Amino acid sequence: MSSSRIEILNEGGLRQDGRRPYELRSIAMTFTPHPTADGSATMQQGLTTVSATVFGPREPKGQSRGQVRHDQAFITVEVGEAAWAQQGGGKRTREVAAAVRDTFEPVVMLHLYPRTEISVYIQVLGSDGGILSTAINATTLALIDAGVAMSDYITSLSIGLHLTQPLLDLSSPEESDIPHLVIASLPGTGKVTLATLETRIHVDRFEEMVDVGVEACRILHGEMREEVRRRTGRVVERMQMGQGHGAAGS
């Protein structure tokens, strides 16, 4: 039993920000045009905001040439933080970069792009918990925007444990006060591609937390897929308008 420094759940079963245990934070997704990138997206979960920008698949340059694979592409990830969002410095950004790369390598169809590099640049613009999961979700959208083939979406959420009660999508105060893990999963199969555990949790509780997280990731996938559909519709509409103008001018 943990002794919390903050009141995790009040007598009414609500968290500090008024959410119920399984309630996600508000979500906002935007595809953000970038002058030189192949894909770009911003994901906001509560007060945590992360942008992801994708370059490639492209011919490796500079030091990256040493990583060339003749039969498939390779992924590089860099993470930066706005000055007001910094938490943990360089070590934390390196850990996030490595986790994002490891999460996407099995899911991106690298064999379709031999001898190329797919570069992902992640910028943390606002931080209130869930940086890794928000970065993974933003990267999924940016890769889709870039037209990079993947076997499925990857969606990610944090799950905490207050006494015996799992909590979804933790804020920063919750992350710092209770045991928690971050999972990423493939909504189509429910397969977990990432599970990072910050503290020791009994195996029975761990399994319950993963099950709750996978189901929540499916719900998040539905919202992300809907945003992708809306974006695709807007792109098709602009193309049709352009063709109409071309025909009118011919």
CA distance 119 to 67: 12
| Cα angle: 195, vertex 192, 162; to 5 degrees | 50
- Cβ contact 181:169 at 8 Å: no
Per-residue pLDDT tens over the stretch 160-178: 999 999 999 999 999 999 9
User: What's the pLDDT at 83?
Assistant: 67
Q: What is the DSSP string of 86-132?
A: --SHHHHHHHHHHHHHHHHTTTB-GGGSTT-EEEEEEEEEE-SS-HH
pLDDT of res. 82: 76
pTM over 0.85: yes
Q: pLDDT of 89-116, one tens digit each?
A: 678 899 999 999 999 999 999 999 999 9
Ranges under pLDDT 70 in the chain: 1-5, 63, 83-89, 244-250
